[in-house]
Chains A and B, each alone.
Chain A
Amino acid sequence: MRKIIHNDKVFTVFNYILAALFLLIALYPLWYVVICSFSGISAIVTGKVWIVPKDVTFDGFKRMFEQKEIWSGYRWTILYTLVGTGINLVFTIPAGYALTRKTLPFRRAINMYFMLTMFIGGGMIPTYLWMDRLHLVNTFWIMVLMGAVSVWNMIICRTFFESNIPEELIDAAKIDGGSEIGIFARIVLPLSKAILAVMTLFFAVGHWNSYFTALIYLRDRGRQPLQLVLRTILLTSQMMTEGSGEQFDQLIFELQNMKYCVVIAASLPVLIMYPFIQKYFVKGVMIGAIKG
Chain B
Amino acid sequence: MRKHAGMKATAVLLSAAMLVACGGGQGSTAGTTAAGSETTAAGSETTAIPDSGSSTTAAAEAAGFFNEEGYPIVNEPFTLTIGYTADAGQGDWSTMDWWQRLAEESGITIEFVEYADGNAVSLMYASRDYPDIAIHAGSDKQIADAAEAGDVYNLEEYLDYAPNWKEYLDANPLVKASITFPDGHIHSLPAIQDRILYEMRDMWMINGKWLDELGLEVPTTIDEFYEVLKAIKANAGKGSIPENVIPYYVRGITNNIGGALDLINTYGIRVMAESSFATIDDNGKVEFNYANPDIKEPMEFIHKLVDEGLISKDGFTDDRPQAQAKSSSTKEPIVACYSEYAGGGNGEVALMPLDSGNGKTPVFRAQTSTLMRNRYTVFKTCEHPEIAMRFANMIAEEDWTVYNFFGEFDTYVDKNDDGTYFVKDRSDLGQLFNYSPQNWAPELMTRELSERIIYAEGHVDYGRNEAANQYSEWMIPKKNLYPTFVYSDEKRDRISELAGDITPYISSTLSSWALEGGIEEGWDAYIAQLNSLGLEEYLDLLQQEYDRFLSNAQ
Contacts and interface: CB of A to CB of B under 8 A. Distances in A.
Nearest to A143: B29
B33 A131 contact: no
B504 interface: no
B88 A241 contact: yes
Nearest to B25: A141
Nearest to B367: A242
B126 A125 contact: yes
B26 A249 contact: no
Interface in B93-142: 94, 112-117, 119-120, 123, 126-127, 129
A215 B433 contact: no
Contacts of B528: none
A278 to B, nearest CB: 20
A206 B341 contact: no
Interface in B430-447: 430, 432-433, 439
Contacts of A131: 12, 15
A124 B30 contact: no
B112 to A, nearest CB: 8
A164 B329 CA distance: 63
A152 B10 CA distance: 12
Interface string B1-35: 11111111111101110110110011001111100
B129 to A, nearest CB: 6
Interface in A97-140: 114, 116-122, 124-125, 127-140
Contacts of B116: 214-216, 218, 224, 228, 232
Nearest to B86: A221
B15 A245 contact: no
A140 B3 contact: no
A208 B395 CA distance: 41
Interface string A235-275: 11111111111111111110110000000000000000000
B468 interface: no
Interface residues of B, number: 75
Interface string B288-330: 0000000000000000000000000000000111101110111
A153 interface: yes
A252 to B, nearest CB: 6
Interface string A59-103: 000000000010000000000000000000001000000000000
B419 interface: no
B469 interface: no
B430 A127 contact: no
B44 interface: yes
Count chain B CB atoms within 10 A of each CB in A116, A127, A128 and give the residue with the most: A128
B215 interface: no
A146 interface: yes
Given A128-B127, A216-B123, A219-B113, A139 B25 contact: yes
Contacts of A117: 6-10
B3 A243 contact: no
Given A125-B127, A250-B429, A251-B89, A141 B18 contact: yes
B18 A246 contact: no
Nearest to B369: A243
A121 B439 CA distance: 40
Nearest to B201: A242
Given A125-B127, A141-B18, A149 B33 contact: no
Interface in A126-176: 127-141, 145-153
Nearest to A140: B29
Interface stretch (A7-15, A16-24, A41-49, A182-190): A41-49
B541 interface: no
Contact of A244 (B21, B87, B115, B274): B87
Contact of A135 (B5, B33, B319, B320): B33
A136 B29 CA distance: 11
A141 B22 contact: yes
Contacts of B114: 219-221
A255 to B, nearest CB: 8
A129 B33 contact: no
Count chain A CB atoms within 10 A of each CB in B3, B86, B123, B193 and give the residue with the most: B3
A210 interface: yes
B271 to A, nearest CB: 16
A270 to B, nearest CB: 15
Contacts of B7: 117, 147-152
Given A216-B123, A219-B36, A135 B14 contact: no
Contacts of A252: 88-89, 320-321, 324
A46 B25 contact: no
Contact of B2 (A136, A152, A214, A237): A152
B127 to A, nearest CB: 5
A223 B32 CA distance: 12
Given A132-B127, A210-B1, A120 B26 contact: no
Contacts of B94: 220-222
B92 interface: yes
A139 B3 contact: no
A149 B11 contact: yes
B216 interface: no
A246 to B, nearest CB: 5
B192 interface: no
Given A42-B325, A206-B3, A219-B115, 4 more contacts: A147-B3, A149-B14, A252-B88, A255-B89
9 contacts: A45-B325, A125-B126, A129-B127, A131-B15, A137-B33, A148-B10, A215-B117, A244-B439, A249-B329
Interface of A: 41-42, 45-47, 69, 91, 114, 116-122, 124-125, 127-141, 145-153, 202, 206, 209-210, 212, 214-216, 218-224, 228, 232, 235-253, 255-256
